[in-house]
Chains A and B, each alone.
Chain A
Amino acid sequence: MNPFSSGTRLRDMIKAIRACKTAAEERAVVRKECAAIRSSISENDQDYSHRNIAKLMFIHMLGYPTHFGQMECLKLIASAGFPEKRIGYLGLMLLLDERQEVLMLVTNSLKQDLGHTNQYIVGLALCALGNICSAEMARDLAPEVERLLLTRDPNIKKKAALCSIRIIRKVPDLAENFLSPATSLLKEKHHGVLIAGVQLCTDLCKVSEDASNHLRKNCTEGLVRILKDICNSPYAPEYDIAGITDPFLHIRVLRLLRMLGHGDADTSEYINDILAQVASKTESNKNAGNAILYECVETIMGIEATSGLRVLAINILGRFLSNRDNNIRYVALNMLMKAISVDSQAVQRHRTTILECVKDSDASIRKRALELVFLLVNDTNAKPLTKELVDYLEVSDQDFKGDLTSKICSIIEKFSQEKKWYIDQMVKVLSLAGNYVKDNVWHALIVAISNAPDLQGYSVRSLYKAFQLSSEQVSLVQVTIWCIGEYGEMLVNNVGVLQVEEPMTVTESDAVDVLESCLTHHSTDITTQSMCLIALLKLSSRFPPSSGRVKEIITTHIGSVVLELQQRAIEFNSIIQRHQNIKSSLVERMPVLDESTFISKRAGSSQANISTEKSNQQLPSGASLKLSNGVAKPAASPLVDLLDLSLDDTPVPTSTSNDFLHDLLDVGLTNSSSSASGTDILMDLLSIGTPVQSNTTPENGSSIKGFNDILPIAKPNTATVQVVDLLDGLASNGSHPGAQSPVHPSIIAYQSSTLKITFSFTKQPDKPQVTQIHATFMNLSSEAYTDFIFQAAVPKFIQLHLDPANSNHLPASGNGRITQTFTITNTQHGQKPLAMRIRIAYKVSNQERLEQGQINNFPPGL
């Protein structure tokens, strides 16, 4: 029976599947087919095994499990005929992957086929090996491949060369064995061999410095000759694409030349001429030509090219950028981003065009252009560029607003020379896209306003005006509420009016109206409502005539179903009713928030930010600010604990407002706190919500410097632990700067006065859903724990697998630790963050203890 001419049954199956109207029908057909194939396999039906694999390939493509066909592939590979082997190898490559043990079994067949006399069979084996080989197989079969590199047949040679690439990627130690055969491949005439050889050389350069030195010395000349030949060769029908001979080989050679010329002046000089020739002679009216030009520009940027050549390259990019084809514009933007480090002046010249691209209708182009604009901003052009971007923000697509807003905010913060400009721009952004502004950004705005006494009146007035126009932007509302609470009387009395301002009249009751409308608006969240209540309390002392109305508003919330609001309302009510004498000192204006502390704290988190951003592209920038939020509730003061009702169960943003309350009451009721401590605690409110005690102030100021000194191992001293919390993310960040797989900072998952739990994360790059967590438990008390048991619970969409802990005995005072590893699979990876409840049971001098907690501060992207 001939498998390729007959195959009617395969056709029938495909027809049946095509005829299916619904997914359920398709599943039924596939199930029936799979059953038939299984029985055919178990009956050891040789005649049909070929067809079975062909069917399984189709079923596999549709996305159904086909693992039962794997052994059948091995049988086909072991059979003698070429067609059987052919389909067997194809099945092997599709249905198997290197993690599976079945692969071990194929090594022997591969070895035999590599030594086969038929060149096509050798080719099959090489191809399979090149696609699926594992490190072990690479070691076993490397000598065979090496031998095949030296055969005469070009078809075998090219495949052997690519197979070698796989081998040296798997086992870089073997690189030196391949160096001299690879060099000899570059002398061939056959294009397939050349392209494979050039790729092999490129990979050798990547893995070994010696190899790149060797190639630089011995092969540069040959490569230039290859490039010259294909540039100048007459029409070659076999390799011709749109009038250019083999653009793929062009590109490959250019890339290898880039590697050789990178950082090497002599080689760069040597290849200067040929690059100039390629750059000026290649036709740019077809895609193939543009691909070569693109590669050539990249090479010119990558090597130590002469200035003349660079001008040529930049001009090509300029031409690309003004091209009407979107593909060309896209690559131009891509390339300009790389060129900016080489010649930023030249890129600046194209600023207007790039800015136009930000407004393009194509999302891919917009994204590229925005990144590029961000890199282009400097002190001189920041103002006009910001204006352009802010103007565009008004009309941009909803799904682009997030990116655009975060970029604009960074630009505004980075390049603000004067505060007024900064405040103006921020108010604009908040009113246009306040819903997309990250919390840390508006926190920074509040810090800035509190530090500018002469602009406070101006700020509160412009916020008030902006609020009148766009009251649905959450962060604008929040900033406005805060400012009205703090600077309400400046709004009403027109304190510190600047010359540019238009005069406006706002009455006390207007200000209270704003707060009341926010408080009662249906879409306002709890954080905002809590902020409203505080602002109202503050106004009641600033505007004595309105205090009656304020009291009424507050009283209406005494019965609020939200515990947080209810409590605030009751407490504030009693302050208004019974503590009139201390009220005014209670609600004094916030002490000036210290900018430098804020900056250094933010620095800590934004560095962690960068690392996560780098490691995980799916994250919008700045998403990880809350890294250490909600971590470790230290027993800072009993009052805080008392008021801290249900922090664990509320969503993260609310925790900020909870702190607000602590701070307010902390400053007020204890009365003894100095203003310095107030500042610090307020800082926390505005930054990450981890209270830092005031006695660590000197350490806070220099916390950045202390990074290296303080290991993320906690000392029993709580004050230090706080600083460690903040820095933990950084420490782990520093330790894997160049890792390519996503790196997630370790977190302090739980901390009480007696126990500290640290989580660190590892992930396999190819399995984004699965995370391995290494938990370390440390005893902070002075007594040892026995019978230590850790339990964890996760939401339904997460699967959890706990490995046994290494011990159940935990020595006192951090003198030892228990480690435990567990694996979690987030089936909704990218959509829902991890969350976990934990329970720890242990015995202290034979008394049972139980601690519980919830972990919400997993780094994003897990």
Chain B
Amino acid sequence: MGIRFVLLVNKQGQTRLAQYYAEHLTLDERRALEGEIVRKCLARTEQQCSFVEHRNYKIVYRRYASLFFLVGVDNDEQMEYTYCGSFTHGRSKQFSSVIAYVAMGAVVDVIAYVNELAILEFIHLFVETMDRHFGNVCELDIMFHLEKAHFMLEEMVMNGCIVETSKSNILAPIQLMEKAS
């Protein structure tokens, strides 16, 4: 699926969970990126769509009460569309060729792309899973049990790919561990 990062941010723009996949950002870069994204997404209204393009990411976000769930995926557009240059030197159509290049048809890379709607569904699944575990999950649950939120995410996503979609399978190892302790 090509998930590059999962971010949880509250209404004030404070990060509450951050997990990056195959993305090596320095601390400063990370802070800058998170800041930019949060500013961009939090400024949008409810009616606007849940997708924002930023740098080389496409961000799919969804708001639950005071928490924003943001998932960054590859923005594939640049890979998919190759504009081929073609020049008309002849003067067949007297003036038609002032501009140099013509956008030719798109060369579609059949793989590299994301299903934004599925990511949206994934966010919801993540929230439901946390809900089932914490019971009416809220910002504080995630703050004080950061490691558990991470464990859940870890069961769901590995290296940017979705690995498990059943809530009970996701929660099984966590519940086992709680029982043991």
Chain A residues within CB distance 8 Å of chain B: 2-5, 10-11, 14, 18, 54, 57-58, 61-65, 82-83, 86-87, 90, 93-94, 97-99, 120, 123, 127, 130-131, 155, 158-159, 162-163, 165-166, 191-192, 195-196, 199, 202, 205-206, 238-239, 241, 246-249, 251, 255, 258-259, 262, 287-288, 290-291, 294-295, 298, 301-302, 326-331, 334, 337-338, 340-341, 361-365, 367, 374-375, 410, 413-419, 422, 444, 447-448, 595-596, 599-600, 602-603, 606-607, 610, 614-615, 617-618, 704, 740, 766-769
Contacts and interface: CB of A to CB of B under 8 A. Distances in A.
Interface in B110-146: 110-111, 113, 115-118, 120-122, 124-125, 143-144, 146
A413 B98 contact: yes
B85 A162 contact: no
Interface in B76-104: 77-83, 85, 87, 89, 93-103
Given A63-B27, A130-B158, A199-B161, A291 B85 contact: no
Interface of B: 15-19, 21, 23-25, 27, 29-31, 34, 44, 47-53, 55-56, 75, 77-83, 85, 87, 89, 93-103, 105-108, 110-111, 113, 115-118, 120-122, 124-125, 143-144, 146-147, 150-151, 154, 158-159, 161-169, 173, 176-178, 180-181
Contacts of A362: 44, 47-49
Nearest to B112: A206
Which secondary structure dominates chain A's binding surface? helix
Given A159-B163, A248-B162, A338-B80, A374 B117 contact: no
Contact of A162 (B17, B81, B158): B158
A763 B48 CA distance: 35
A259 B164 contact: no
Nearest to A330: B49
A679 B25 CA distance: 52
B24 A98 contact: yes
Nearest to A206: B111
A337 B44 CA distance: 25
Contacts of A363: 48
Given A195-B163, A247-B121, A617 B75 contact: yes
Contacts of B17: 61
B83 A610 contact: yes
A377 to B, nearest CB: 9
Contacts of B181: 2-5, 83
B100 A295 contact: no
Given A206-B111, A248-B165, A362-B48, 13 more contacts: A87-B147, A90-B150, A98-B24, A127-B154, A159-B158, A195-B163, A241-B125, A248-B118, A287-B124, A341-B107, A362-B49, A415-B96, A766-B24
Given A614-B78, A766-B25, A127 B158 contact: yes
B95 A417 contact: yes
Nearest to A82: B177
13 contacts: A54-B146, A83-B177, A255-B111, A258-B110, A259-B111, A327-B117, A337-B106, A374-B103, A595-B98, A603-B100, A606-B85, A607-B100, A615-B78
B9 to A, nearest CB: 11
Contacts of B98: 413, 416, 422, 444, 447-448, 595, 599
Nearest to A606: B100
Contacts of A294: 115, 117
B89 to A, nearest CB: 7
A804 B22 CA distance: 33
Contact of B95 (A87, A419, A740): A419
Contacts of A61: 15-18, 146
A327 B51 CA distance: 7
A340 B101 CA distance: 19
B80 A599 contact: no
B12 to A, nearest CB: 11
Interface centre among A99, A196, A414, A444 (most CB of B within 10 A): A414
Contacts of A4: 177-178, 181
B176 A120 contact: yes
A364 B52 contact: yes
Contacts of B151: 86, 90
Contacts of B166: 191-192, 238-239
A409 to B, nearest CB: 9
Contacts of A94: 19, 150
A165 B48 contact: no
Given A18-B143, A63-B31, A291-B121, A239 B165 contact: yes
